[in-house]
Amino acid sequence: MDIQEKLSILADAAKYDASCASSGSKGTRAGSRLGSTEGMGICHSYTPDGRCVSLLKILLTNYCIYDCQYCVNRVTSETRRARFTVDEIVRLTIEFYQRNYIEGLFLSSGIIQNPDYTMEQLALVAKSLRVEHQFGGYIHLKSIPGASENLLEEAGRWADRLSVNIELPTPADLQALAPEKKPPEITDAMDAIKQRLDQYQSDRQAGFKVARFAPAGQSTQMIVGATATPDLEILKTASGLYNQQKLRRVYYSAYSPIPHADARLPGMSPPLVREHRLYQADWLMRFYGFGSSELVAESDGNLSLEIDPKLAWALAHREMFPIDVNRAEREMLLRIPGIGARNVDRILRLRRHHAIRVSDLKKLRVAWNRTASFVQTIDHNPALKQLDAQGLKDRFKPREKQLLLFDTGQSALDGEF
């Protein structure tokens, strides 16, 4: 099989992994001759199915000894298989970089022979790029749960980011669909990476010259909608990962149906808006001080698909509104729908000089249509009647649109499928 054919198989197989976005590192490596992450850093864009187009995103191989039911690469799947050699990946990365197609490499793999062997191969690719080719571009390596700590350390030495996929939101989900994956092995790998990151940071702060270790931190991916587990459990798992393993990001990836799938798996993907709501809720947990349990207002444990989680929280806690922007603490200002964290800081600065009016908020471009019912200024106090109104939620629902009778008609016009 030639390298082009391998590329088409192994780049396609990698598209199911959404955990490759990153902020990149701030500077390029000392002594690099090739590749830079300086200046604007690495800019990522995504195709609609989650592929990150500025990294060469491939698998070392889609052979795998495991049989995770949600995965197209599982051992029992009848998919076409291929495997790159270490040298082939190195060559492809350099060639793509030189043609300006990519800014770095995202490399994952099915598990071959055993976790240690697979991890060693992944680390060898990164080492060869860094040492033999002085490649300074971005490298994200998928870490294999169960691999030895020495190999994780070696991988972190050459990669900018490491990730270990949690895969499914709860141990029970994993037990049902991927019994060979052991939750403790996954969290142990994350812990090992975290400990080295902490060590690296504290040694640097103490003024020691230390070898780099995954400066862009670690991330993970969770598949959503493969099981019936509701958003509340998903967010609790994510919150635990942020608090205990100090992950930079949790990526949520809507389950995509695969050929000849197990009967327990759904026949279709969950609505993409669910993934979007989870990202919004995740953002609120990380930057707005919301707890995972607070964010889910629906009785079935899922986020509302109609309105965003912050607005849903406000509607479920109307007794706390309107919030007076001239007096409230930062934590409360952050809970006002339509006002973002940056505007909260601007409001805090502004109100030191004068009392805030509606015109000030509008100048700050807050989303006034969402904010008006929840905020109090010296010239605006939404009537309690308005906050108590039964139909308030309906005002925020997206307007209904006429659907096309024939979807393909629009596709034919705009070329999008």
Q: What is the nearest approach in angstroms of ligand SF4 to the Cβ of residue 91?
A: 24
- What are the b/e assignments for 253-288, b being 16+ CB within 10 Å? bbbbebeebeeeeeeebbeeebbebbebbbebbeeb
Q: What is the nearest approach in angstroms of ligand SF4 to the Cβ of residue 193?
A: 18
Q: What is the nearest approach in angstroms of ligand SF4 to the Cβ of residue 66?
A: 4
CB of 253 closer than 8 Å to CB of 50: yes
Q: What is the nearest approach in angstroms of ligand SF4 to the Cβ of residue 38?
A: 34
**Of 67-75, 112-120, 250-258, 364-372, which part binds ligand SF4 (CB under 6 A)?**
67-75
| CA dist., res. 15 & res. 397, Å (int) | 33
Nearer to ligand SF4, 66 or 279 (CB): 66
Supply the Cα-derived Rg of the chain in whole angstroms: 24
**Of 63-71, 225-233, 250-258, 352-360, which part binds ligand SF4 (CB under 6 A)?**
63-71
> Which residues within the stretch 382-411 sit at the binding site for ligand SF4 (CB under 6 A)?
none
Among 42, 71, 295, 315, indicate the residue that binds ligand SF4 (CB under 6 A).
71
| CA dist., res. 64 & res. 186, Å (int) | 17
Based on the shown chain and the rule CB under 6 A, indicate whether residue 241 belongs to the binding site for ligand SF4: no
Among 11, 66, 269, 392, indicate the residue that binds ligand SF4 (CB under 6 A).
66
Based on the shown chain and the rule CB under 6 A, indicate whether residue 73 belongs to the binding site for ligand SF4: yes
- For the record, the structure tokens of 268 come out as 């279709």
What is the torsional sign of CA 287, 291, 293, 295?
Answer: negative
> Which residues within the stretch 154-193 sit at the binding site for ligand SF4 (CB under 6 A)?
178
Based on the shown chain and the rule CB under 6 A, indicate whether residue 142 belongs to the binding site for ligand SF4: no
| C-alpha 356: how far from chain center | 36
| CA dist., res. 372 & res. 361, Å (int) | 10
Nearer to ligand SF4, 127 or 182 (CB): 182
Q: What is the nearest approach in angstroms of ligand SF4 to the Cβ of residue 178?
A: 6
Based on the shown chain and the rule CB under 6 A, indicate whether residue 74 belongs to the binding site for ligand SF4: yes
Among 14, 21, 68, 216, indicate the residue that binds ligand SF4 (CB under 6 A).
68
The neighbour count for residue 58, using CB atoms within 10 Å, is 26
**Of 62-70, 150-158, 228-236, 301-309, which part binds ligand SF4 (CB under 6 A)?**
62-70
Based on the shown chain and the rule CB under 6 A, indicate whether residue 64 belongs to the binding site for ligand SF4: yes
Nearer to ligand SF4, 66 or 283 (CB): 66
Q: What is the nearest approach in angstroms of ligand SF4 to the Cβ of residue 111?
A: 5
Nearer to ligand SF4, 178 or 278 (CB): 178
Q: What is the nearest approach in angstroms of ligand SF4 to the Cβ of residue 143?
A: 12
Helix or strand run (H / E) with residue 161: strand 161-163
Nearer to ligand SF4, 257 or 301 (CB): 257
| CA dist., res. 118 & res. 106, Å (int) | 15
Among 35, 50, 104, 110, indicate the residue that binds ligand SF4 (CB under 6 A).
110
CB of 67 closer than 8 Å to CB of 180: yes
Q: What is the nearest approach in angstroms of ligand SF4 to the Cβ of residue 276?
A: 24
Q: 380 in helix, strand or coil?
A: strand
Q: Which residues contact 111 (CB under 8 A, 6 or more apart)?
A: 64, 65, 66, 118, 144
CA-CA-CA-CA dihedral for 58, 108, 222, 201, to nearest 10? -120
CB of 89 closer than 8 Å to CB of 125: yes
Tell me which residues touch ligand SF4 (CB under 6 A).
Answer: 64, 66, 68, 71, 73-74, 110-111, 178
